[in-house]
Amino acid sequence: MNNIPKDVAEAVLQHLQDAYKLDDNSFVPWAGIYICSRFGLEYPPWIRKYLQDSSERIFKMPRDDGERLADKMMPALAMSTVGQGNELTRYYRLMKKVDAYCTFHEIMSQEKGLPRGQAIEKVVEILVEKYGEDEVSEKSVTNWINNIDSKLANSR
């Protein structure tokens, strides 16, 4: 994600916001915080609200109730890692899509004139190495890229 254009970072941020609105997954704002920090973007209202709500829960945590502070932090941050299809699992799926999108744009900016299909093939190779063969297909990567690109186009 080092060499993506700022508008791509903004598209990723919009995609994260949309995912957060649909799923209310509290891991997602942290990805948004990373994107904003990495690209010098201001925290949008949805991230500020998450941070405000979380800081309020942390501030109001009971202190000397015998429970370890670490055991209180996940609920204070509104995070859950329990159960099948939990927030952390859904977050990893979302970030795989973001990874594909950023990798695609990184390749396209480094290799000007490379046909889109070849860039997608390279993305698949990179992601298969990261996530395993069963996790990534050209069709999925193409859909992920098109989905985020269409959000970028609609936001302009």
pLDDT of residue 148: 84
- Mean residue pLDDT of the chain comes to 83
Taking Cα atoms as reference points, which of 131, 137, 46 lies closest to residue 95?
Answer: 131
Q: What b/e sequence results for 29-64 when a residue is b if at least 16 CB atoms lie within 10 Å of its CB, and e otherwise?
A: bbbbeebbeebeeebbebbeebeeebeeeeeeeeee
Q: What is the pLDDT of residue 65?
A: 66
Q: How far apart are CA 60 and CA 50, in angstroms?
A: 15
Q: Which of 26-35, 97-106, 131-140 has the lowest mean pLDDT?
A: 131-140
Q: What is the pTM for the complete model shown?
A: 0.69
Q: Where are the domains of the chain?
A: 6-155
CA distances to 35, 36, 106 from 109, in Å = 18, 20, 5
**Contacts for 118-122: CB closer than 8 Å, 24+ residues apart:** 120/145
Closest CA to 10 of 126, 127, 156: 156
User: Which range, of 1-5, 17-21, 52-56, averages the lowest pLDDT?
Assistant: 1-5
Of 65-69, 109-113, 137-141, 144-148, least confident by mean pLDDT is 65-69
pLDDT digits (tens, 9 = 90+) for 59-103: 777 766 666 666 667 676 766 666 556 777 778 888 888 889 889
pLDDT in tens, 99-112: 898 899 889 988 88
Question: pLDDT-based confidence at 33, cuts 50/70/90?
Answer: very high
DSSP, res 41: P
Burial of 3 from C-beta contacts in 10 A (0-12 / 13-18 / 19+):
exposed
DSSP secondary structure code for residue 65 in this structure: S
